[in-house]
Amino acid sequence: MHNLTIAQLAKGLQSKDFSSVELTQHFLARIAELNPAYNAVITVTAEQALKAAAAADKRLAAGNAPALCGIPILHKDIFCTNGVRTSCGSKMLDNFIPPYSATVVENFEQAGAVVLGKTNMDEFAMGSSNETSFYGPVKNPWAIDCVPGGSSGGSAAAVAARLAPGATATDTGGSIRQPAALCGITGLKPTYGRVSRWGMIAFASSLDQGGPMARTAEDCALLLNCMASYDDKDSTCIDRDVPDYSADLNNSIKGLKIGVPKEYFSDGLHAGTEDAVRSALAELEAQGAELVEISLPNSALSVPAYYVIAPAEASANLSRFDGVKYGYRCEDPKDLNDLYTRTRAEGFGEEVQRRILIGTYCLSAGYYDAYYGKAQQVRQLIQQDFEKAFAQVDVIMGPTCPSPAFKFGSKGDDPVAMYLEDIYTIATNLAGLPGMSVPCGMVESKPVGLQIIGNYFDEARMLNVAHQYQQATDWHDQMPESIQQGAES
């Protein structure tokens, strides 16, 4: 069963080929057997999952169940879940059990989906390799000595290892698309404001966005149908009708204009990655799409702009973690200042502390205009580049990452080298655009991702293009050798 897609599992449930309880037991068994090798899931909610599966079976028997009813999924541990530990990958929240659920979590509950547990992640979503988690690194199922990408590396590795057919994730500067590329799955970051951020623990409020991870574009469409909704509890959520993202998957892409940024194919891009991406573009061209070279002249400024804006917003958001109301608290503080200082020094990891310090500096008196204000001006230039490009083309494509998955520890001593792993993904977050990654080849026996960037609220077109590509290729069906001998299907 674990080799079936969400769409196939939904059909199997509807036709009574198996029950949701049987399906849930199967994936819980896979997690128990295989997760110790990958460290992708940090909290398993077996009892709640089986109860939800039994309830889903009753809805299915009644004959009016939603598409995702009875489908097992995992949630990234950044989404608050009522009564279940939500740690955000940090010692600071290791003991935090929310009294409420995020809107995204509630949406899946209402749809009858079965939550198997919570996935590992970079601490407070700060990282590109899933090496900063308090619970240890996640291992890439394609190469156990390599990173799965971050910060949603747990969700990506879990889907790649067939521990769940789908998972939720978040993307602040590439944290859905980059791990999706490195783990050989499909991941989608929606337009900013398309998915509610209420109950999603904030990193950088003007950049964070939740989205789905699954094996196929079709599955991501089904998940996004559930995730996307207007939420008046989130002031940044857009009040706009949610289309059926599955409706246009089979449309022809003949005549589609694909923008290919020349800046995305320059020094720093692995030769094998470039070959795989260009082969994918050639396949789409063979289906009738037109390739148009475009320029995004300010794209090189996206990384420095991001690493001013994101830490500045993180500095403000993480100031609430002080040991007073909830979360970690240092032992025997001498006074209030000691409580604050030691709680934050002991509760936050090195990367989180680094970004808080950078952000606080950028927001300090005398530096705000020179750094944060200037970065916001660059952000506008990047957005204008995309506006000009979308006046000429329908979608933009290029590599998701500059190279395949890298080995653990290989970039740990060089934060800048780590930050450059997101060089092709960050600009879409700064502009608020939707983007996704689909598997498009293998380099050194590791997956490569093709990035598709769409115009605002044009997720349906992106999914259509991705689906048509996946109908003609089988990269999304490839399975890591390390899991082929797992639990029986």
Q: For residue range 301-331, what is the model confidence (pLDDT) as tens digits? A: 999 999 999 999 999 999 999 999 999 999 9
Domains of the chain: 6-258+391-483 (3.90.1300.10)
Average pLDDT over residues 128-145: 96
Q: How confident is the model at residue 485 (pLDDT cuts 50, 70, 90)?
A: low
What Rg do the C-alpha atoms of the chain give, in angstroms? 21
Model confidence pLDDT, tens digit, residues 217-272: 999 999 999 999 999 999 999 999 999 999 999 999 999 999 999 999 988 899 99
Residues serving a catalytic function are 76, 151, 175
| Maximum alpha-carbon separation in the chain | 70
Examine the pLDDT at 488 and tell me if it is beyond 60.
Answer: no
d(CA 436, CA 453): 7
HSE (CB half, 13 Å, CA atoms) of 10? 19
Q: At what angle do helices 20-38 and 46-62 cross, to 10 degrees?
A: 150
Sign of the torsion angle spanned by Cα atoms 41, 44, 45, 51 = positive
What pLDDT digit, counting tens, does each position of 14-53 carry? 999 999 999 999 999 999 999 999 999 999 999 999 999 9
Quote the pLDDT of residue 64: 85
Chain centroid to Cα 77, Å, comes to: 12
pLDDT, one tens digit per residue, over 363-392 is 998 888 889 999 999 999 999 999 999 999
**What's CA 76's distance to the chain center, in Å?**
9
CA angle 232, 233, 238 (to 5 degrees): 45
Cβ count near 385 (within 10 Å):
22
pLDDT score, position 489 = 42
Residue 280, H or E segment = helix 271-286
